[in-house]
């Protein structure tokens, strides 16, 4: 079992399989993209398999594959097939922009993958195209409905962006009310590849909550797991639920059970901190599993208590990083 230096059990790995993406969401990266990793610096299929197997052996029982866009990796299904056979791994989930998932839905179901988070920051097509800088709305929306229809546990991630999509908050709840889906509204974080910098946000969790509940005063608070980052609610007459994630305000650090490994192999113990080790370098230098395990345990043993503490590790107040490299 992995326990950090503050007594928190770490059982959840967020594994970014690539930093590449076919969209260019303006809150995630600049229009021209970021300085993407050299292909040689990305973990290979075999390395991804080794890292996940090792971590499952150490106590990770839930892995979320993210990116970049996980489905731009041609070997993604091979990796998922491997993971589905790992003893001790109870949950495999995906975070995707849902542009490329369509042909894989049947196999995902067969592999027993249940939880899929779809990023959709607008219900209006023009707004979606402005934010993502691409014209994929129809396929994303169609795949979203298919995933719900096929019985996946689907959650929509909607980042609330000042001046861009606040007018879609109520319409997305209205459009989704007939479906079993969770709509989660997230605070924008300053990880956008340097496209803009900010120290505070208009749409924090309280503003989002007030906006939604002023339209739906008959909401009810739902029970959520202790490690959940979202506070979740139901609305009378809606099959869908909604959640709010204070990703910028960071009120959930006390129960954080997450470890992140980026597509380049960086080990990140807090989203707001610096990488603490690199599994790719360790594997490629001598391939010794034991050394990789020690590096991971050392990183987990010196974790910052909160995201605010972790943030002190950076000299500059401006984050140069993009979510496409960290994985969200
Ligand atoms: N491409 C996939 C997708 O968009 O779902 C997976 C990778 S994406 C980096 C993972 C999550 O990070 C998405 O839900 C995305 O909305 C979120 N994200 C990206 N940039 C963000 C930012 N600046 N603030 C908050 N969330 C962000
Ligand atoms: Fe791509 Fe996801 Fe970033 Fe959008 S949020 S640019 S879909 S990695």
157 Cβ below 6 A of ligand 1: yes
Annotate 22-39 with b (16+ C-beta within 10 A) or e (fewer). ebbbbbbbeeeebebbee
Closest ligand 1 atom to residue 187 Cα is 25
For residue 217, pLDDT over 90 is answered with: yes
Integer angstrom CA distances of residue 25 from 31, 182, 244: 8, 21, 20
**Contact assessment for residue 296 and residue 287, using Cβ atoms and an 8 Å cutoff:** no
Answer with the residue of higher pLDDT: 312 or 148: 148
97 Cβ below 6 A of ligand 1: yes
CATH of domain 2-326: 3.20.20.70
Q: How confident is the model at residue 318 (pLDDT cuts 50, 70, 90)?
A: low
Compute the distance between CA of residue 278 and CA of residue 42 in angstroms, rounded to an integer: 11
Annotate 68-100 with b (16+ C-beta within 10 A) or e (fewer). bbbbbbeebeebbebbeebeebeebbbbbbbbb
Kind plus residue range of the DSSP H or E element containing 78: helix 76-84
- Express each pLDDT in 236-257 by its tens digit: 999 999 999 999 988 888 889 9
Domain definitions of the chain by residue range? 2-326
Q: Of 304, 307, 295, which is closest to residue 267 (Cα–Cα)?
A: 295
Compute the distance between CA of residue 19 and CA of residue 319 in angstroms, rounded to an integer: 17
291 Cβ neighbours under 8 A, 6+ residues apart: 282
82 Cβ neighbours under 8 A, 6+ residues apart: 49, 52
142 Cβ neighbours under 8 A, 6+ residues apart: 102
For residue 6, is it left (φ>0), alpha (ψ between -120 and 50) or beta?
A: alpha
Q: What's the mean per-residue pLDDT of the chain?
A: 95
- Express each pLDDT in 7-61 by its tens digit: 999 999 999 999 999 999 999 999 999 999 999 999 999 999 999 999 999 999 9
119 Cβ below 6 A of ligand 2: yes
- Express each pLDDT in 115-129 by its tens digit: 999 999 999 999 999
Compute the distance between CA of residue 273 and CA of residue 153 in angstroms, rounded to an integer: 30
259 Cβ below 6 A of ligand 1: no
Compute the distance between CA of residue 191 and CA of residue 250 in angstroms, rounded to an integer: 14
The closest residue, in CA terms, to atom 2 on ligand 1 is 96
Model pTM? 0.96
4 Cβ below 6 A of ligand 2: no
The closest residue, in CA terms, to atom 4 on ligand 2 is 25
191 Cβ below 6 A of ligand 1: yes
Distance 100 CA to ligand 1 centre (A): 16
Compute the distance between CA of residue 328 and CA of residue 322 in angstroms, rounded to an integer: 9
**Contact assessment for residue 307 and residue 191, using Cβ atoms and an 8 Å cutoff:** no
259 Cβ neighbours under 8 A, 6+ residues apart: 2, 10, 12, 13, 14, 55, 60, 267, 268, 269, 296, 300
Annotate 146-165 with b (16+ C-beta within 10 A) or e (fewer). ebbeeebebbbbbbbbeebb
């Amino acid at each position: 079992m992995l326990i950090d230096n503050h007594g928190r059990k770490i059982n959840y790995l967020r594994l970014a399989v690539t930093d590449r993406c076919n969209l260019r969401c303006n809150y995630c990266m600049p229009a021209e993209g970021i300085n993407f990793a050299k292909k040689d610096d990305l973990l290979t299929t075999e390395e991804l398999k080794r890292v996940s197997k090792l971590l499952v052996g150490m106590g990770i029982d839930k892995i979320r594959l993210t990116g970049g866009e996980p489905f731009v990796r041609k070997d993604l299904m091979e990796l998922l097939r491997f993971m589905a056979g790992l003893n001790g791994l109870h949950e495999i989930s995906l975070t995707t922009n849902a542009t490329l998932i369509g042909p894989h839905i049947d196999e995902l179901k067969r592999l027993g993958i249940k939880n899929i988070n779809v990023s959709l920051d607008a219900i209006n097509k023009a707004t979606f195209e402005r934010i993502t800088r691409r014209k994929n709305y129809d396929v994303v929306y169609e795949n979203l409905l298919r995933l719900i229809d096929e019985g996946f546990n689907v959650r929509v991630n909607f980042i609330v962006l000042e001046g861009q999509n606040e007018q879609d908050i109520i319409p997305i709840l209205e459009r989704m009310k007939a479906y079993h889906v969770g709509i989660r509204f997230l605070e924008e974080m300053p990880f956008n590849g340097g496209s803009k910098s900010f120290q505070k946000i208009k749409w924090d969790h309280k503003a989002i909550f007030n906006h939604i509940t002023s339209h739906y005063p008959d909401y009810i608070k739902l029970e959520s797991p202790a490690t959940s980052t979202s506070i979740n609610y139901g609305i009378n007459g809606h099959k869908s639920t909604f959640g709010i994630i204070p990703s910028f305000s960071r009120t959930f650090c006390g129960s954080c059970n997450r470890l992140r490994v980026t597509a380049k192999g960086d080990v990140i113990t807090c989203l707001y901190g610096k990488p603490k080790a690199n599994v790719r370098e360790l594997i490629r230098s001598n391939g010794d599993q034991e050394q990789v395990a020690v590096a991971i345990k050392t990183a987990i043993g010196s974790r910052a208590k909160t995201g605010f503490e972790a943030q002190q590790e950076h000299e500059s107040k401006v984050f140069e990083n993009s979510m496409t490299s960290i994985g969200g």
